[in-house]
Amino acid sequence: MAVLTDASNTDSLPRPDLPRLVDEAQPLLEAVAAVSTAPLAAIARRLWEATLPYLGSTALVIFTEDCTGRPQKKAGDESVISRVSIAELDHIRASLSNGGRSGGEDAGPESWQGEAVLGGEPHPVLALSSPSNALLVVADPQPLQDPTQHAAAGRLLRYLWMLAAERIREKVADAPPSYLIESRAASAERVRVTAELVDRHSTTLETLLAALRSPALGDDAARKSATDVAAKALVSLRTLNDRTTELVEEPVATAFQRLREDLKPLMTFSGIDVQFIEPPVTGRALPGEVAHAARAIVRGLVLAMVDQSGVRRIRTQWDCDGENLLVNVRDDGPGDLSAAAPTMARLAQRVEALDGRMSVDVMPGWGADVAVSLPLDPPARHLADVSGWKLGERELQVLQLLAAGQRNRAIAAELHISENTVKFHLRNIYRKVGATSRTEAIAMAHSNGLR
């Protein structure tokens, strides 16, 4: 017969040493908190620092195509993270997808361990995927020697990575104004730099091909071999340009389909008929930040409309006039939707972050009609006027790259100079603009139109 014990008898049960447990678990708990609350700009560094005590590594790279502003988030050895390419990450993702693992029994189907090129050099890497299709790559992992501890470290890495991936997914889906502004600026800068890179190298390779194809040159075999190499390099460069474009743009039909998937649970459980008027399939592709904002705005509008009583039907429509994404959401409710409500104010901030417009037309007894226009291109920049600083041509180039967020090593590589020369120019720049730090120089550059 089972014996029921009074709750008071539990006082005689052995209790764990709670202070000791808390002391031992505190570093891990702090690491979990750091990752789960990290802003997007710091999430890679937080994750890398959290994993170092358990799985040493030289660098960590997160690659997520949904985050168009910064698809790569990196921390660790500058010589690795400053040179990581999209092509390298795509190759690692393909290895993971093919299931070619050498990580042992503890490595699940979502992981792959082996050697891959990262930052232009071969490295042992550990790669993990996520439900949101984000990719984590850890360079030069140094697992603990004890097999039991090694397995535990692997499980911990997976847990922290799932937290980080979900944090990224939530921030991108929510599309706060600060993210949209940063995303638009970063996307525009990356497209500009890539276009310049493609133009420069395309001209070089096309010139090389023209010379090698000249009948005036001898040694047909050598010319054919060199022609093949140059042609492959040209194709690779064009592929890089196309891949970069894919990361910062999304076909309008694909973006709208993702909206339908987002709202499917609401349609299933609310009993409200949500109607979708699809955009033309041939419409212009949407910049990533516009697609994110449009989905977040429509989701917010639909939820605000559902909160009214008597709403039976909501219609959402997208269209594109070549310059703007035109969004319209209308309900058949009582017309109680208030443009001044906090929810609507937050949606208006997302629209304003992309220099868009939103109008709310409320008709008592007939419902609410919300129209949003989001420009596909950022507003034209005003030319920077920094003539008063009397910067030399090279100093101005360094300041422009600094304002674009480049580190000293990347600036040196871009301008084909040494890091010491970059530091020399920076000291002169600080003196001429009156800045006392790198951050202050960047802020002054931005305020004068340099980005």
Please give the single-letter amino acid code of residue 225: S
d(CA 145, CA 223): 53
CA nearest neighbour of 160 among 193, 114, 120, 128: 128
- Inter-residue contact 61 to 137 (CB < 8 Å): yes
d(CA 404, CA 196): 15
Q: For residue 354, how many C-alpha atoms fall within 13 Å in the half-sphere facing its CB? A: 34
What is this structure's pTM? 0.61
Instruction: Give the model's pLDDT for residue 314.
Output: 93
Instruction: Give the model's pLDDT for residue 26.
Output: 80
Look at domain 252-375 and name its CATH class: alpha beta
Q: Return per-residue pLDDT of the chain as tens, 451 residues.
A: 444 445 455 555 566 666 777 677 788 888 888 888 888 878 899 999 998 888 889 999 999 877 776 788 898 988 888 888 888 888 899 888 776 544 443 444 488 989 999 988 999 999 999 988 899 999 999 866 666 777 788 888 899 999 999 988 888 887 777 677 767 766 665 666 566 666 666 666 766 777 677 666 667 776 777 777 777 777 776 676 666 666 678 888 888 998 998 888 877 777 888 999 988 887 788 888 888 889 989 998 998 898 888 889 999 999 988 889 999 999 998 888 888 888 888 898 889 888 899 999 998 888 999 999 999 887 765 545 677 788 888 898 898 888 877 888 888 888 888 888 999 999 999 988 888 888 788 878 877 777 6
Instruction: Give the model's pLDDT for residue 276.
Output: 93
Task: For the chain, report the end-to-end CA distance as a whole number of angstroms.
Answer: 78
Q: What is the CATH number of domain 387-447?
A: 1.10.10.10
Class of residue 109 by CB neighbours under 10 A (exposed 0-12, middle 13-18, buried 19+): exposed
Q: What is the CATH number of domain 26-174?
A: 3.30.450
DSSP conformational letter for 117: E
Instruction: Give the model's pLDDT for residue 14.
Output: 64
- Inter-residue contact 256 to 317 (CB < 8 Å): no
